[in-house]
Amino acid sequence: MKKKSSSVKRKNLKNSVFSPQIKDKRIKKIYQRFEFLIKQKEFKGYLVAVSGGADSLALAYLSKCYQIKNKDNNFHYVHVDHKLRDKSSKEAGTLKKILRKFRIECKIITWKKKTNTKKTQSESRDYRFKVFDGFCKTKKINTLLLGHHFDDFQENFFIRLLRGSGLKGLVSFYNYRNLQRNNINIVRPLLDFSKEDLLYVTKNIFNFYIDDPSNRSLEYLRSRVRFMINNLKKMA
């Protein structure tokens, strides 16, 4: 009897984290900004991209809160398993199970490449957007939500600068929050928040996220970027 009671308690806890009345002030502030940015009439249905990282899990949580508060069932959560790493499919399965515990049904789409050639990050990104485009058209929805945050924005801007990107490449960041591709709105509603903010959300809600080692390949370049940003802040 004690065991059953404990189980019910855990279930109620998982349900309560999505309450419209968010008690944590920091998470509440992030949610309110998120809600303001996506609550637009031209948005008809949402695909939430869930990579499994801390940023995307925070996005999944905020989307689920919005979905429940606004009684909007036209939300779809999708994870693309590129199979770039040996453990990716196992991680995708774990991700699906954890999200299901929090009443988030995440669809796993696996890239089954026919040739034996090595998959690149660029090819994986192109495939991912191809999947998202097809999914949106099939479900007749027009909005893709991505979990990029303010740190991403800063890093990508200066990475482009260091790589010698032209004026056109740099100016494109002015529209980084809300783009349109193939009649699909690509929305990044978390750009006002830092990586630290999103880690705070994910650790407090899920206490789980996938650390993708492939992201570490850019660490040297990112360290240079952070150095530039810190110097600019000191000069301001």
> What's the residue count for the chain?
236
The domain made up of 22-235 has a fold known as: Rossmann fold (3.40.50)
Position 83 scores a pLDDT of 80
Specify whether the CB–CB gap between 45 and 18 falls below 8 A. Answer: no
pLDDT mean over 40-67: 91
70-84: pLDDT as tens digits: 899 999 999 999 887
Confidence check: pLDDT of 17 > 80:
no
Comparing CA positions, the residue from 193, 198, 191 lying closest to residue 173 is 191
Position 186 scores a pLDDT of 87
Average pLDDT value for the chain? 76
Position 148 scores a pLDDT of 64
Position 97 scores a pLDDT of 95
Confidence check: pLDDT of 203 > 90:
yes
170 beta partners: none
pLDDT mean over 149-153: 51
CB atoms near residue 202 (< 10 Å): 21
Confidence check: pLDDT of 160 > 80:
no
Confidence check: pLDDT of 21 > 80:
no
Distance CA 68, CA 20 (A): 8
Confidence at 132, pLDDT banded by 50, 70, 90: very high
Domain chopping of the chain, boundaries: 22-235
pLDDT mean over 89-99: 94
Confidence check: pLDDT of 147 > 80:
yes
Angle formed at CA 65 by CA 61 and CA 70, multiple of 5 degrees:
150
Position 217 scores a pLDDT of 47
CB atoms near residue 205 (< 10 Å): 21
Position 236 scores a pLDDT of 54
Predicted TM-score (pTM) of the model is: 0.75
